[in-house]
Amino acid sequence: MANVRYHLPMHIGMIGLGRMGGNMAQRLARHGIDVTGYSRPPIPVLPDEPRIRIVATLDELIRALPAPRIVWLMVPAGEATEENVEALATRLASGDLVIDGGNAFYRDSQRRAQQLAARGIGFLDAGVSGGVWGLTEGYGMMVGGERAHFERILPLVRALAPAPDRGWVYCGPVGAGHYTKMVHNGIEYGLMQAYAEGFALLAARKDLALPLGEIAEAWRHGTVIRSWLLDLTAGVLREPAALARVGARIADSGEGRWTAREAIDLGVPAPVISAALMTRFASQGADDFGARLLALVRNAFGGHPLPPATAPDPKARPPDR
């Protein structure tokens, strides 16, 4: 990773130090940005980094930040985001700024922006892509909100992105960032499903004894279907024994549902994304090659837990991102 510094002293708060938030805090610190982090217990242990300080309470985080404050949320969409926005609304001051980098539904982001604006607090919705690889490779950033707020955090965006001049986009008003990330994740569903189905067809011809790992590796170079997701798929297929150790259940984290519903509401055909979503539903209780491959690829890019032998409790609260 290039050690690019922006010569602008910044100090932000990061709420949520899980797979995404913890790595983002480290990447920001390595670019000369001070980060005060807070996460609900158990607090993750991050590598020693002099520019990162972890505090035990939200109030302590607020006190540690210089005014006007910038607080970045990296917690799961839904209840966790709602709780944190409500807590920040009562603790921050006019002129402060909240960034939600989770996979929130864009209409919820628009509502939260109005809630904070009534107190003079700014809000940006930031779609963040990159998974567990973002620390070294950088994150794709899709940001919505007032342009002035976006300009204020541009050094943060450039530090997190793969390069200062690429991999990020200002999408438009509040909601535009999370809407763009929603569609991005819907496309991701379709791409992954296509790879899984293709390799399932190859695997089904036992009589041909097709070398799946070698085929995936060959497809990575020069073909029209090469992509980072294919790179990860090839990595998974280098260890075919792993397929036998994982359950054939693919989690549905919400973004695919939102994308499919949006397509219905707008009357825009999205059959591939919708079919990929339905396949994830159908995978519950199934035991096929494609589902196991999808589960392993999700784990490879996002660190998503591999499906256990028994179905998880649907009411269990997910960890911080």
Catalytic residue set: 181, 188
Report helix, strand or coil for 197. helix
Q: What is the rounded CA–CA span in Å between residue 236 and residue 296?
A: 7
For residues 251 and 307, the answer to whether their CB atoms sit within 8 Å is yes
H helices of 47-160, where?
58-64, 79-89, 106-117, 134-137, 147-152, 154-160
Q: Please state whether beta strands 70-73 and 97-100 pair in parallel, antiparallel, or not at all (unpaired).
A: parallel
- Helices 271-282 and 176-204 cross at an angle (nearest 10°) of 70
Which residues, at least 6 apart from 205, have a Cβ–Cβ distance to it below 8 Å? Answer: none
DSSP annotation of 68: S
Sign of CA dihedral 262, 268, 273, 275: positive
Nearest CA-CA partner of 141 in 153, 152, 149, 280: 153
